[in-house]
Amino acid sequence: MTTKEKLLWAAIVIVLGAVGFLTYQYLQTPPQAPPTAQKTKPPPTATEPAAPAIENPIPSGASDAGKPLPPLAASDADLAAALTELAGQDTVAALLVRESIIRNVVVTVDNLPRQKVAVERRPVKPTPGQTLVEGDADAGEVATLSVRNYARYAPFVRAVQASDVKKLAALYFRWYPLFQQAYEDLGYPDKYFNDRLVAAIDDLLKAPDVEGPIRLVRPKVFFEFADPTLEARSAGQKLLIRMGRENSAEIKAKLRDLRAEIAGHAR
């Protein structure tokens, strides 16, 4: 297998994981009353709207190719083995968190447009190293995000650049029933995961291209953006900002291509 092929399949893990670092809280679905022979559910009325229509359907039969998918609860070994065969042991070992892969991808995607972060739910391993900062905020100096910090994301960006979004979309469609099941288990029985993925991509594409030094503050333990309009951005957008303008542009370009594949039209 060539280096380019390994990077391609590594990117499959990365892009679907979206480099998450995000939180979630499982929602409880109210129990439904069992059906009875005497009563049938009335049709929706003006005060009882029907379930929302699917906006971005997965192509019919896309998951039927090949052997049947394993159960969601037992999917980690098969998915990790497939990725290892395609990308190589070293690449998968460096990137993949091998437990609850699909569930963690779904949680990550669902939370990309939100505010919170939870490292225990990420499907890929964290970027090596610490956030690099110029200036000592604790000493009263103006602290800014160091341009040297952007190099930490270079391997990730190269892998994304090398990815083939058509093959990525085909793999995603193949495994889609398990992504949908995990999304329903998360507390969305009447919603469609691919719609949420498209929405998450749209939110990432709205991340601003910040020029010049990015000022930071540290009110407690972690650094935050000094600009409140940046700090108010979603967790996914703030990650792109921390990656630097050039890296962010590369990721956005690939996300646009991916969106065109999974949504059926470009935006």
d(CA 266, CA 257): 8
Q: Which of 60-74, 157-171, 186-200 has the highest average model confidence (pLDDT)?
A: 186-200
Three-state helix/strand/coil letters over 207-253: CCCCCCCCEEECCCCCCEECCHHHHCCCHHHHHHHHHCHHHHHHHHH
pLDDT tens-digit readout, 58-86: 988 888 777 899 999 999 998 888 777 66
- Answering whether pTM is above 0.85, one says no
